[in-house]
Structure 1
Amino acid sequence: MAFEAGISPKQLRSPDVVRSSRDTYLPRALAADLRVRIAAVLLNAPQRAVISHRTAGALWDLEIPMQRPDDRVHLTVSTGSAVRGRADRCAHRVPFSDEDVVRLDGFPVTTPARTWRDLAMELQPPALLAVTDQLLLRRCTRDDLLAELVRRPTGRGAARARAVLPVADPRAESPMESVLRWLLHEARLPTPDLQHVITSPGGRFLGKADLAWVEEKVLVEFDGDLHRDREVFVRDLRRQNRLVGEGWVILRFSSADVLGRPEEVVAEIRRALRRARSAHSPASAL
């Protein structure tokens, strides 16, 4: 195809050109652009191929935590297709119908609900919960996802999807916050209130908590990279002082905590809740 377009072998060997697979070349300046890579893959993919899985998730603006980088274009092809994966693409053979596909940015892409069910085949529950929270916020209703489970009630990922969906909440404000929530769910800790607005007895706004146990006056904050900004850091300190002054216990965790020492994170939250409950009722325990 390149030769038919008048591109010579010498031009293909230029430093300005990147070979993404055995017969696919891209301008180096555009090689990092996802949509350019998708277009290149679709040029020699089967006619009914559809963009799916992690690549569909990226097109639907989903942030998937806890995953290794993967620049391949993921596409689903018919179960009888002989197409194979290459360096620039990953081919999935899962049955699909026309109702599973929409046009997005000019590409055939699995619907948000179908993308969710496909990702359930590959993601572990914490990451799947993060995806589910985002979809409920921007793309799907809970009924949409339930309907997808009804259509594919068995097979790989069905049990994970069924376990995660009841825990999902569109109020989650970051993927890692969702990951932390799954840890608490697995540990059978009481379900926190998300994005709880805290006011003083006089009605003055004190702040909003990522996760809050209101009766115990315990709140948990997930601090992402944004909180390293000096202005945000100063604002966080002032808010924390106001909340502590009103009797709230505040625990703050980073991704290094949630991913690197999850058992300790759960234990610290459990201890804080136990102390708070003991202060109210010595006989209560978690």
Structure 2
Amino acid sequence: MAREAGITDRQLQHPAVVRLSRDTYLPRAVAGEPTARLAAVLLTAPPGAVVSHATAAGLWGVEIPLQVDRSGRVDLTVPLSSRSESRRDRRVHRQPLPEEDHTRRSALPVTTPARTWRDLAAVLRPPALLAVTDQLLARWVMHDELARQLQACSTGRGSARARDVLPIADPRAESPMESVLRWLVHEAGLPAPAVQYVVRDEAGAVLGRADLAWPDRRVLVEFDGDVHRERDVFVNDLRRQNRLVAAGWTVLRFTSADVLGRPADVVAEIRRALAWRDRRSRTTAGR
């Protein structure tokens, strides 16, 4: 395509030009811009190619936690008849794509949010898929739309995973890692928590809000992301925690180092808190 435009090999070797793959180039000044990279890859993609999977999630503003692929490759779904292959700048998925499963965003062809979810179910682990599902429900789709997408593609890779995740998805989750923590709770067989639970005192005044809560056991669990290290947030967190503890609540707080580095310990701590509160409630009731 460059040669058709009268650009020579020497010009393409200029320091101001970045080679994405064998026939795809970009000016270095815009090589770091996702939409520019997408547009460049699509120029050399086969007819009918659509941005999909993790790249589509990015276009929809959905964050995928626990990602280990940092290659920056663009995910493309191409028709079954295409002979296009993956390259260093693109990952090609050859599968059926009905017309209703793709649309346009930022002038680029992209899978719909529901189809993006079903595609990701085939490649993500359940904790990450739950985080994606929560975000999509919060911004783009209704639960029924995802259920219909799963029904339309009810077999094959990821179908069982999607069926496991969808019933516990909740649009009230406020961060991807909060969703990952909730999956740990679910996988451990603990009682399902309330999400973003508002705690009030006897007069109805708000004492605080918790990511996960078991109101009957008076146990709260918080996921503390990076923002909680900021001074103002940190101070407010401490004051809120003091109010909640003074009101008789057990408050557990975890970070990504806990959820990712010692998940079994996190589950054990929550289990102990729930069991202790349960025993205390029975003892109090028996007096």
| Band the TM-score falls in, shorter-chain normalisation | over 0.9
Structure 1 Cα separation of the partners of residues 179 and 51 of structure 2: 26
AA in 1 matched with 2:279: S
SS at match of 1:48: coil
Structure 1: which amino acid aligns with 2:25?
Y
Equivalent-residue separation in structure 2 for 1:7 and 1:229 (angstroms) = 51
- The runs of at least 4 consecutive aligned structure 1 residues that moved more than 4 Å come to none
Write the distance in 1 (CA, Å) between the matches of 2:5 and 2:94.
32
5+ long unaligned stretches in structure 1: none
Question: Which residue does the alignment assign to 2:75?
Answer: 74
SS of aligned partner of 2:2: coil
| Counterpart in the other structure of 1:270 | 271
Letter in 2 for 1:34: P
1:1-286 to structure 2, matched below 5 A, reads: 1-68=1-68, 69-282=70-283
Structure 1, residues 73-132: CA drift from partner, whole Å, max 9, x if none? 101011221100001000001111111111111111111100100000000110000000
Q: How far apart are residue 283 of structure 1 and its match?
A: 11
How many positions carry a matched residue from both structures? 284
Give, in angstroms, the shift of residue 32 of structure 1: 1.4
**One-letter amino acid of the structure 1 residue matched with residue 67 of structure 2:** Q
List per-residue Cα deviations over 1:244-275 (Å, max 9, x = no partner). Answer: 11111110000110011000000000000100
Aligned Cα RMSD in Å? 1.4
Q: Distance in 2 between matches of 1:15 and 1:251?
A: 53
1 CA distance for matches of 2:10 and 2:208? Answer: 62
Q: State how far apart, in whole Å, the 1-side matches of 2:159 and 2:233 are.
A: 40
What's the TM-score once normalised by structure 1's chain length?
Answer: 0.96
Query: Which letter maps to 1:64?
Result: I
Residue 282 of structure 1 and its aligned partner are, at CA, apart by 4.7
Residue type at the aligned position of 1:50: V
- What is the identity, as a one-letter code, of the residue corresponding to 2:20? S
1:4 CA displacement:
3.4
Read off the aligned partner of 1:24 and give its amino acid letter. T
**Offset of 1:15 from its aligned partner?**
1.9
Provide the secondary structure at the position in 2 that maps to 1:281.
helix
The 1:65–1:51 alpha-carbon spacing in structure 2 relative to 1, beyond 3 Å, is same
Q: Aligned partners of 1:282 and 1:176: how far apart in 2?
A: 35
Q: Is the 8 A contact 2:23 2:44 kept in 1?
A: no
**Deviation digits for residues 174-203 of structure 1 (CA, Å, limit 9, x no counterpart):** 000000101110111011111111111122
Comparing 197-206 with 241-250, greater Cα deviation is found at 197-206
* Structure 2 length-normalised TM: 0.96
**Is there any run of 5+ residues in structure 2 with no aligned partner, and where?**
none
The residue type equivalent to 1:215 in the other structure is D
Displacement of 1:9 in angstroms is 2.8
